[in-house]
Each structure stands twice: as C-alpha cells, then as structure tokens.
Structure 1
C-alpha cells in the first residue's frame, strides 16, 4: 500500500475529542454485536478487510462502504468520532490521536514494509549525494510532513550520527506523490520518497539511485493498525473478534498464496463492487508488508513512534501509555502463549 495514508499533522490542532458518548453502529446499552461494520476504502485498492470478506473469513459480518478516505488520520478520526466503525493509519498517527484523549484501541496491523512493500529514498543517478551527511542543505520531497516518510528520514539521519540541529538543515518538501518523480528529475528536489507503483515506475524509467529504504533501515515491520473505539469494542466483542481474526487470516493468505492468484482475487473484488474505479494499479501489488503472523501487534511498533513524537516535542514523554493503546486479545488467527 502506498504512503498516501500517512498525513497526520492535521491532528496537531485537534482539541480533546469528546467521543466517549458518540454513537456507533451498536447504539447504546449492553452488548449488541452488530453484524455490519462501516468503513472507508481506497480507490483502486483492496484492503485486508475487503479481502477477508471476499475469502469468507468474516462469516456473516458485512462491510458497509461509506466512501473513500483521504488519509489515515482522517480515517481514524472518523472512527474515533463514530462516523465509521473502524479506521486505519500509520502508527504514529494512532499515537498522536491517542495523545488527544481519544478512547481508541489498535486491534490488528494492516500494512508495513518488507522486501516487496517499502518506501525508498531516491536521488538522481549522477547525484553527488552518497551518504547521510550529504543531505545537509538538500531538499527531500515527500507526501506529507510529520508522518512515515519524515520519521524514517529522522531515524536514518540520527542513526548515522547527525545531530538534531544538523538534521533540521535537511529541508523537507511536501509534494503530491504523483509529482514526486518529476520533481526529482527536474531538480526541484534532491531526494524523492517513492513507494509502490510510483517507485516501480521510476525504476523502470531509470536514471535514479536508491539512497536507502525504510526496509533496509528497520527490516520488516508493521507500520499501521486498524483502530476501534473502546466503547465499540465493549459493546461488540464477538464482532471485533470476527473482524480481527478474519483480517489476520486474510493477511496470512496474501502472504502464502502465489502473487498472481492474490492479484486475480483483488481484481475480481474491484470489478464486483462497481465503484467506477480502475484496477490497473493492482498489477503492481506485491505485498501488504505486514511482518507478524495474523497481523498481531507488537508494542515496539507503537512505542518507536511515541518516542519519535516525544523527541520532536509533538507529545510529552509518557503522555501515551502504549501498552494500553493496543490489544491482541481478539486476534484468534494465531494464538500466542500468554495472550
């Protein structure tokens, strides 16, 4: 999946969300276990819940598509306010929203980085940029600030010995993903962050060189999770269990099934849902990038971003209890001792 779902600086201006009493599909009162989950999708893409539904892993639980999301932060904010039942975003955005007292909980990972699905930081083939320190004074183009791409850049610079003051001299420029490659070739920027189809297209054209990637920097890791409100979870435990387990099974299926078969299934899903969209991008799909079996969440997948946000001054150290921000309780796609 692409990095377009990563923007979350919009959350900076959010006041404390008074969502504890907001409505959900389950209404008020005791346990209801709704059989329908409202959600937002992405044009031309098939997310893990949609794949799970098509494979029969959700049983009689239905997904109710209410439109397409414009970003991960918008998606989880909509979930927090009860406009939809689940939303997904970069884990840094999840931590950021939780810091605003939104009563949300991450329940399953849904995208990440691996040897197939990764974001690369590319320079022109003949660029003089060869090492981290060469980036001082240079422009790096990315889809948004304060999210996945900038976090990886900061980690890369820090890991290679640049001080915070030196790192701040690396200019970060917001550029729409579809224009990033062109901006690099026209020398409007010195480094382009590219992933998915846009990365593959640039590599096929040639003339670019990879400086580093998030996969090379951190290895395989899950980077984003689906969240639900604590209230929804309390009122719909069986629904949540079906949803989380089904998504986990779909992730495992996508990882163990021949790629051509996965792409064929996704193409079939897009054709059947009739949303006036193109399935052409699916031919470039390789992986969701989720490293853990069943999409189980590891604490460090959230704590690394909590630490990064605190270092930036976006949140206070200890402001978010990461251990309380996620649960694997409902994920029965794989069992783990002590869970």
Structure 2
C-alpha cells in the first residue's frame, strides 16, 4: 500500500526539522553591525554560500569601519521565509519571486518589503515519475506534486501561470489541489524511492537534475518555456532595516555582488564552495558540469520578473499592480538594470 502524505511527512522528518540552524526570537530593530539571513535549498542560493564561505559581509563591513555579526538560518518555503522576515526574526530573506511579490503587495505603506538583488537566472523543472503525464494537461487526481509552499512559492506561481496559459486566467489555480509542501531534498528522496503518493516535484537545481538521473523521471514543464530566461529567486528586506542599518545593508549588497562575480567566473571554485558549505553529497565533476550550464547565470541583476508580477495582479493574487519591476526592487547607489 502506498503511504499517505502525512506518513510521508513523518517518515522524512518534516515539521520542526524544516529549520536548519536557529532563528532568534523576534526582537526590536537591529543596530548597525548585525544581520540575520534566511536561505533555502539548492544551487540557486550559491551566492549566499560564497558570501558565507568567504566572509564577504564582514569584509565589506570592515571597509566601512564596522564589525558585522552575521547569523544564518535555513528554512523551506516562501511562506516560512516571509513570516520570519515580518516577525523580525531575520533581516534578509531568500525566496522566490512569487513570495516576494506577495509580501511586497501586503506590506505597501507599512514594512515596505522590496527585493535587494537577484540570485541569478536558472530554469526550474516540473518533473514526474508518472509516464502518463507528458504535459500539465495530463495531471489528474493520481498525481501529487511537491512544491516548497503551496500556492505562493515561485514553483506554485509558475504552475499557475502555466495553467492560465492552458485553460485561461479564470482557472489559473486549477492545479493547486495536486500540490503538497515538501522541502526539495525530501521531495527528491521520496520521488526517487517511490512507494508514496508523491510522483511529481516542481524543483530547482541540483535536485531536479538528481531526479532526472533516474530513467523513470522526466521533465513535464520548463520555466524558461514560460518566461524565457528569468530570475526565480531573490533576496529581500524591509525598508526599515535598509534605512536603520545603511552600512550593514551596503556591506551585504557589496558582498552579494562580489559573490556573483566570483561564481560566474570560477565555476570549479563555486562548486567547491557549494559542497563545502552545504555538505551536499554530490559528485564534484557533475556539479561543475551542472553549474557551467550556459542556461545558468550568476548575477544580481533581475531578469523577466515583471511578467509574473503582471500575471499575479491580473488574476487577483496581488492587489497592487507594479508600474515596473523597479516598484518592488530597492534602487541603491548603483541601480540595477533589470526586468
């Protein structure tokens, strides 16, 4: 008998184990010299791995004459990330453009959350082990798709975007009922092991590539087919943190820009960093080959985020329509030239 998803969650240690590291209790605004960063899973967070490994925030803080204490936490899902940011548990949030647009929309005129930078351009794949599912039109009650957060994660929003293209805007959430919130590492393990009701995963690298190494898993949907090359994952913060901690914030911005240059120009060293920081059990040569994929770009400049913003406004998922991508990105000393 196939396991239910509740048994699956218990067997792979969901719940409290989603937090790797420790989140500090909600507190008052931090003084200059401290920053708390929440990230998730996958190569898309490689720039943060580089920042952490090379102590780049501390380096750029010293250049401004301050010592910066950096704390790191790991969560799964945009909802958990947004909750941590709004509760004051973290200062910089790493999550998909979907969660960013949700929190930007809900905090306008209050916390005024906006994006700080992109983490790069990467294709995200919806993969399945069900041979009958060739396109999203083939999905049925027999299918269960893992996403980081149901309805709001960038994977969920991309699935909604695809559904709207297939069946019209009024049915944009038609496939939500087939999705389940499961962290990428656990979803990949469950998909490959079989024996559960989970037979699909809207993933990110390297997890989607690990799944595709199995001959029984195939691509159903490629995010680049929907939006073109795009920046699916961003870093964001509240306006208050940015204003109250200008030197710390600037050190972070400079650090992430330096990390992007490093990762884009030295893929082997970037792969070593990923393995070292995350303790990933992945073959080094395979990882280097993966991140050297010409479809990947490590950059802080956002690309093709506005199409999703327009869509979410059009279907009523957000109440405010941004005039352009610049409405939900902070424009700092060196303004980003994105889309």
TM-score, scaled to structure 1: 0.69
For residues 248 and 195 of structure 2, the distance between their equivalents in structure 1, rounded to whole angstroms, comes to 51
Give structure 2 stretches of 5+ with no counterpart. Answer: 1-25, 62-67
> Which residue is equivalent to 1:113?
122
Deviation digits for residues 186-239 of structure 1 (CA, Å, limit 9, x no counterpart)? 584664434334323332221222222113332321122212221222233333
The structure whose residues are more often strand, as a share, is 1
Distance 1:120 1:44 in 2: 15
Using the TM superposition, give the Cα deviation of residue 52 of structure 1 relative to its aligned residue in structure 2, in angstroms: 2.5
Report the Cα distance in structure 2 between the residues aligned to 1:43 and 1:187, rounded to whole angstroms: 22
Residue equivalent to 2:319: 316
Report if the CA contact (8 A) 2:39-2:93 is conserved.
Answer: no
1:85 counterpart (82, 91, 98) = 91
- Does the CA-based 8 Å contact 1:266-1:282 persist in structure 2? no
Distance 1:209 1:43 in 2: 21
Aligned residue number for residue 39 of structure 1 = 37
Task: Give the Cα separation in 1 of the matches to 2:117 and 2:292.
Answer: 13
1:175 Cα deviation (Å)? 5.4
Tell me the alpha carbon deviations over residues 119-171 of structure 1, each in whole angstroms, 9 at most, x when there is no partner.
Answer: 233353xx344445434666351223212222222322333x42346665544
Counterpart residue number, 2:29: 24
Is residue 2:148 matched to residue 1:139?
no
Partner of residue 64, structure 2? none
Change (3 A) 1:68 1:263: same
Matched, 1:97 2:103: yes
Q: Distance in 1 between matches of 2:41 and 2:162?
A: 32
SS at match of 1:88: strand
Q: Which residue of 1 aligns with 2:6?
A: none
User: For 1:211 and 1:43, how far apart are their aligned partners in 2?
Assistant: 22
Shift of 1:261: 2.1
Q: Once the two structures are superposed, what CA deviation does each residue of 1:297-322 show, in whole Å capped at 9, x if it has no partner?
A: 35x51x33333333443332538985
Partner of 1:13: none
Q: Distance in 2 between matches of 1:99 and 1:250?
A: 29
Per the alignment, residue 260 of structure 2 pairs with 251
- Aligned partner (choices 202, 208, 214) of residue 211 of structure 2: 202
Equivalents in 2 of 1:240, 1:138: separation in Å?
A: 47
Task: Specify the SS of the correspondent of 2:90.
Answer: coil
Give matches, 1:103-182, under 5 Å.
Answer: 103-114=112-123, 118-124=124-130, 127-135=131-139, 139-143=143-147, 144-146=149-151, 147-159=153-165, 161-164=166-169, 169-170=174-175, 171-174=177-180, 176=182, 177=184, 178-179=186-187, 182=190
Question: What's the offset of the Cα at 1:241?
Answer: 2.3
The CA deviation string for residues 70-127 of structure 1, in whole angstroms up to 9 with x for no partner, is 433333433334322211221221121122223222111125424xxx3233353xx3
Q: How does 1:204-223 map to 2 (within 5 A)?
A: 204-223=213-232
Give the deviation of 1:44 after TM superposition.
Answer: 9.0
Contact 1:121–1:212, Cα closer than 8 Å, also in 2: yes
Q: Is the 8 A contact 2:39 2:75 kept in 1?
A: yes
What is the alpha-carbon root mean square deviation over aligned residues? Answer: 3.8
- 1:4 maps to what in 2? none
Given that 1:108 and 1:297 are in contact with CA atoms closer than 8 Å, whether structure 2 keeps it comes out as yes
